[in-house]
Structure formats: C-alpha cells, structure tokens
Structure 1
Amino acid sequence: MDSSPTPVVSALAHSLAAPQHGPRPLPLFLSILWRETEANPDLRRLAFQGLRKYQEAVRPAPPPVPKPFATAGSAKLLRFGRDNGRAPVVFVPSLINPPQVLDLSEGRSMLRHMAAAGHDAYLVEWGRPTKDDTDLGLDGHVTDRLLPMFAALPRPPILVGYCLGGSLALGAAAVMEVQGVATIAAPWQFDGFPPADREVIASLWKSARPTCEKLGYVPMEVLQSGFWALDPARTIQKYAAFASMAAGSDAEHTFLAVEDWANGGAPLSFAAGRDLFENFYGANQPGRLKWRVGGGQVDPDALACPTLSIRSSTDRIVPASAAPTLNGGFTLDLGHVGMIVGGKARTLLWNPLSEWVSTHGG
C-alpha cells in the first residue's frame, strides 16, 4: 500500500514550515506542473521559467493603506472615502485570501475608484484569527466582526460583498438595517456548483479536517490546493505565459500583484472552515434557506432593501449558477478575478456598480 502523504497532508505540513516566496504550497504546485506538462516539454520549460521569474521579481510598492475607522476582534474597517451625507458603501471581501484584490494597485483599485467617484467607501480587513477564534463560525464573522464595526458608521450602509464576502454581506443584511446589498461572484446556491467540483472539495476536507481540528484553524494552503485542483491546466499555463511578459510592463506588475494576493492570506478559524466545507458546500444551507445568523433565517427574498447580484459566465471558482438570485443583476464574461482587476473591470463592473450605488443612496 502506498504510504506517501496525500497532497492535502503535504499542504498542511508545508503550511507549518518557513514562509516562502512563491506558489503555496510549492511542493504541490511542482507536482501539478510536472503532471500537467508530461507530454509537453516546451510548456514545462516555460512554466519553470515563469516560476523562477515570479520568485525573483522585484515588486512595486503597494498603495498606502488607510488607518482603521473601526475594529472588532482581529478585523478592521478601512475608510477610503469621506462623509458625503449619503449611505457609506462597505466592501466585504472573502475570508479566503487577503482583501487587497479590491485595492490591488493605484490603477487597479475598485476602492479608490469608488472613493474618486464620490462614494464614502470602506473595506473590511478580516485579519488573522487567534487561538480564541477556533469556534468562530461564518455566522460569528457576521455577528462578532461585521456588526460591531458597522455600528460605528454614521448611517446604515450599502454592502458590496465579493465571493464569500457576498454571502456574509447577505447574512449581515438579514439582521441589521442596510440601504442595499450587492454581491459579486458570491456563492449561495451550492447545488449550482458542478457535482465533480463538490466531490473534489468534499475529498479535500475529508483529508484535511482531522489536522485542521487539532490546529484550530484551516491553513490557506488547504484552500489553495482546492482551487488548483479545480483547474490544474490553467494553474500551469498562466506561469508559462508570465515567462514572456515584458519586464516592468503593466501586465507583469498585475500578474505579480494578483499571484501574491492568491498565494497570501490568513488561515480560517476551524469553525469557519467547517461551516464552509460541511454546511455550505456539503449541505447547501444558504441555498436551502437553512443558514441562520443571530438566531434568524437568512433569506435574500425577505430583504426590504434593493439587492443586486453580479455573476460571470466564465467564473471557474463561483459559477454563475451558484450565485444568488436577487432583485437585480447582470452577468459578465470575465473570470473570478478578472472581473475585479482585469482590463475591462472598470467599464463592465466598476462603473455600473458605482451608478447602482448612487441610485440607491450611496
């Protein structure tokens, strides 16, 4: 019987090692690279060149981060705008990976675009869970993190949630007064994920759960290995393409910023990971209206405020069929990250979202 560690166990072990500058977990990435390029030596060569280039590249300085407007536990609320007498607009990022994808660089920042358009824009930064946060589930991230920070706002906000942050934004809207809710690539109808993808995720969690429970948290490497498993070919091809990007170009800087974001991030508390894998992906609690926050049911149809669901027909992480059905919405043909920071993001997402926010009091 093969006694070698599974990829998930290897990822967990690597998460406890010294930090690295590169894809995380690197051993799993190299295993995928070798497997995906077995019949294509040219692709393998380019992918290794791209990996080396990524590891050794000099990064531009990131944009300055605003001072916290409010805090709750490890979470912070960062203010990018200024009081305009209208509803604050709060962007809620995913718990998976850092919030910097919404403020990637001076020229690719949805938050700075919204502030420049006159919105009083804020960004939630979740921070790192502590040993006392082991039992903080997804509902607790709403009641113990978001709600206390939102209470410091000058008036009820408009919430804009990206990815899992959209799910949490709907949870917050169910238990507090808000002016509106917009979700971007938010997973809600988990039966809308391809069955094969849900099987991959279930297998991943089955392997990782015992170790995560002992640790009290779910390392980012476990989540990243799941993303890679959904589309391993693309994982390798993008590094091969990076090998030929012009040094100092906008494309190179964007690749570095996006990959550093994708390979970064704090772990999830164990309870949040358990909720995500077992109650959301496994049991589809949100889609079946079984998810409860603050003791109450989260039902998007019951919200009294305007709602908007933005999805993408080419999103491999959160397919359009998994997004919530809200009062309004539209579908893009940009990827999960491309819709936020890609070359067409300003025209196809940032500007329409800004107009919707303005129309509804923000």
Structure 2
Amino acid sequence: MRIYGGTAQSSALQHGPRPLPLFLDMLRSETAASPERTAAVLKGLRRYQEADRGRPRRLPPARFRKRRARLRDYGGDGRPVVFVPSLINPPFVLDLTPETSLVRWIADAGFHAWLVDWGTTDPRDREMDVAAHVGRVLEPLLAKLPEPPLLVGYCLGGTMALAAASRMKVAALATIAAPWRFAGYGAAAADIGALWKAAEPGCHQLGLVPMEVLQTGFWRLDPRRTIAKFEAFAGMEAERAAMFVALEDWANAGEPLTYTAGAELFEQMVGEDRPGRGEWRVGGARVGPGMIDCPSIEYVSLTDRIVPAATAAGLAERRDLGAGHVGMIVGGGARRQLWEPLRDWLRAVPGSR
C-alpha cells in the first residue's frame, strides 16, 4: 500500500505518534495497573514505527495556485466537485490510498474532482487567519474554475466551504463533520481554552501553531482510545495493519497553522462561538447558513468526538451517520454511509448529469 508524503523514506524513529512524550505519559497513566497492556502498546508502537511504507505516491497535478495553496486535478468528466479539507492535518485523508479515496471515487462517478491542498505554512503569513484563508485563498481558487463548483468540505474545511458559499456563487454545498455552532463543544471548550492559554505565548513567538499543540487537544478528548488502538495494532492482521499505518501517518502529519488562524480558531470560534452566533466575518461581511442560496446538506456523525453532532450548522438538509470523524471517510462502512449518499445527492443537484 502506497501513501502520500515524504515520511515513507524517513527513518523509522521519525514516525509518530506526535508528540511522543505526551503519548508515553498517557501510556503510563492508562496502563499503570497492567504491565501486560504496557508491553502490548509498546509492541504496537514499535511495529508502527518500523512498518514498511513503500514509495510515496505521486501527487495529482496542481492546475491552479493561490499563495501557498494548490487546486489538485483528479480528473473525471462532468461538473466540477471541489473537496475542501481542513487546515489541520494533510488533505489526503480524502485520498488516503488507491483503495480508499473518496475524491477518486467521485471522479469515477461522473464528476470532475478537485482537491484543495493548503500547501506549506510560511511564518511570514502569521496574520492569515481562518477567514483570510477563505477570502484570499479559497475563493480565488474556486473562481478559476470554468463554472461554479459543487463544494464538499470536511471538518474545518466544511466550515470554510460554508463561509465561501455565503459569499460567492457555487452550485451546491455539502459539509462533512463540519463544526459551526462551536457552543456545541460544551464543557470540552474549557479544556481546549486551557490548552491554548498554555501554548499561546510560544505560538505567538513562532508565528505558528505547531501540529503537536492541536494533536494534544485531540488526544485529550479520548486518551483511552489513543492508547488502546496501538495495543490492538500489535496483533493486527496485515491488510488492516497497512490501513492503520496510512491513517496514523496522516493523523500525525500536517503543517502548523499560522498563529492568527490558531488564535481565531481557539479564541473566536471555540471560545466565543462567533460562527454559531452569526458574528463571524470574512472580508468584513457576515457569513453563515442564512446567506446560502444554493442546495445544501450536512453529513453529521452521532459518534464524533472531534466534531460533536451538537456543533452542526443547520443546513437545509441533514443526514446523520453512525460512524466516527475519520471512519465516515475511510472506514469499512464509509462507502455505504457517506460515499454513495453523497454521490446520489450531488447527482440530484439541478444541472448535474
């Protein structure tokens, strides 16, 4: 199985999980009463670090560019469908392996598929917040296409796609596990705020929010599962193990956020819920579900720990899924629960074939 990225040619010690010291602290805490479990997790960790990743796959060509971002062309005939990934983690969870690629599958289903690649973070862009990524990067990229695209946004990419659809002509909008009403994080918002308070001074000096800061927040949502999955990996059969490696490499990779994007995410979105209160602005204009004049749908996981169902935007249509944040994209039931319903919905948009 071939995966994206340059890590396949790196030494085994460079493979995650990141940050490793925090992982080892959680390991001690979660398995303190069971030396057998500790040994199993460490066995799984070593197996992951030493796994054969093969040669990296080639990236599809970048047809359009704006600042550091690229719009990658996955081919296909039909109306353009643009997948907008999160700024957090690489975009290729939507094209994880040849066998597990939502983007390629949609291209084979009668559409011309595109994927936004946000590129390499530059500390000189420290003042580019999330809103600026929408107005100054995403919208100009979409405007380069010959016709208004069908937008599909995942996670924070869905939040950004919704904002773009509020401000420009698009054929339709579908969001997947996209937070909008950040008040839906409930008590977890306080923990996220505490994490940012501790990390902010260093991030301010760097002009960046390192991926390790974001990963720490994800792990704290479910430390037991973070440890247990490596315990299970120790004895996992080969085919499932290859998928585990590809997915963990994706989860442990990713560019840092610009400082201002991180500050906006932690302070104005999670802390103040500006999108959910109708107060988030892009280019000085308010954005939100009420400003969208195209067909729209949101796919919401009822078991998502990263983006709880309570954070959903309330678009015109909604489909609830019984899969987790990543499982809905690449899990064993992803095609039945998400891929096929999404394809059918896109086909039903007026003007589609």
Verify same fold: TM over 0.5: yes
Q: Is the 8 A contact 2:299 2:318 kept in 1?
A: yes
Q: Which residue does the alignment assign to 1:281?
A: 270
| Paired position in structure 2 for 1:120 | 112
Shift of 1:60: 3.8
Deviations 1:266-291 (A, max 9, x none): 00000100000000000000100100
Corresponding residue number in structure 2 for 1:189: 181
- Corresponding residue number in structure 1 for 2:236: 245
Residue identity matched to 1:157 = P
| Contact 1:175-1:294 at 8 Å conserved across structures | no
C-alpha contact (below 8 Å) 1:208/1:222 kept by paired residues: yes
Residue number in structure 1 paired with 2:9? none
1:255-294 superposed matches below 5 A: 255-294=244-283
What letter corresponds to residue 330 of structure 2 in structure 1? V
Match of 2:41 in 1: 47
For 1:22, the equivalent position in structure 2 comes to 16
Residue matched to 2:297: 308
Equivalent in the alignment of 2:340: 351
Match of 2:200 in 1: 209
- Could you tell me how far apart the structure 2 residues matched to 1:222 and 1:100 are? 21
Contact 1:81 1:118 in 2 (8 A): no
| Equivalent residue number for residue 81 of structure 1 | 75
Query: 50, 53, 65: which is aligned to 1:56?
Result: 50
Offset at residue 64 of structure 1 (A):
3.1
* 2:237 corresponds to 1:236: no
1: CA distance, partners of 2:150 / 2:324: 24
- Give per-residue Cα distances to partners, 1:241-272, cap 9 Å, x unaligned: 000012xx221111001100000000000010
2:286 matched to which residue of 1? 297
Q: Which runs of 5+ in 1 are unaligned?
A: 1-18
User: 2-side partners of 1:111 and 1:21: how far apart?
Assistant: 26
Distance 2:335 2:58 in 1: 21
Equivalent residue, structure 2, for 1:90:
82
Q: Does the aligned pair in 2 maintain the 1:114–1:354 contact within 8 Å?
A: yes
Alignment correspondent of 2:214 = 223
Report deviation, 1:21: 1.4
Instruction: Give aligned-pair identity as a percent.
Output: 52
Residue 329 of structure 1 deviates from its aligned partner by 1.2
Q: TM-score, normalised by structure 1?
A: 0.92
**1:148 has 2:143 as partner:** no
Q: CA offset at residue 62 of structure 1?
A: 4.4
Report the CA distance between 1:81 and its aligned residue: 2.2
What is the Cα-based RMSD across aligned positions, in Å? Answer: 1.1
Contact in 1 for aligned 2:76/2:108 (Cα 8 Å): no
Cα deviation 1:33-66 (Å, max 9, x = unaligned): 1111111222211111100000001014444321
Asked if 2 retains the 8 angstrom alpha-carbon contact of 1:289 and 1:298, the reply is yes
CA gap of 1:194–1:40, structure 2 versus 1, over 3 A, is farther
1:301: how far off? 2.2
Moved more, 292-301 or 345-354: 292-301
Helix, strand or coil for the counterpart of 2:232? helix
Equivalent-residue separation in structure 2 for 1:205 and 1:77 (angstroms): 31
CA contact (8 A) 2:298 2:317 kept: yes
CA–CA separation in structure 1 for the residues paired with 2:98 and 2:319: 27
The letter for the 2-side match of 1:243 is: A
Partner in structure 2 of residue 4 of structure 1: none
Aligned to 1:162: 154
Any idea what SS the aligned residue of 1:174 has?
Answer: helix
Alignment partners' CA distance in 2, 1:352 and 1:142: 27
**Distance in structure 2 (CA, Å) of the matches to 1:318 and 1:230:** 11
Structure 1 pair 285/168, CA: closer, same or farther in 2 (3 Å)?
same
- For the residue of structure 2 that corresponds to 1:351, the secondary structure is helix
Count matched residues.
Answer: 339
Choose the corresponding residue for 1:32, options 26, 30, 46.
Answer: 26
TM-score of the aligned structures, taking structure 2 as reference length:
0.94
- Equivalent positions of 1:331-342 (< 5 A) are 331-342=320-331
Q: Name the counterpart of 2:10.
A: none
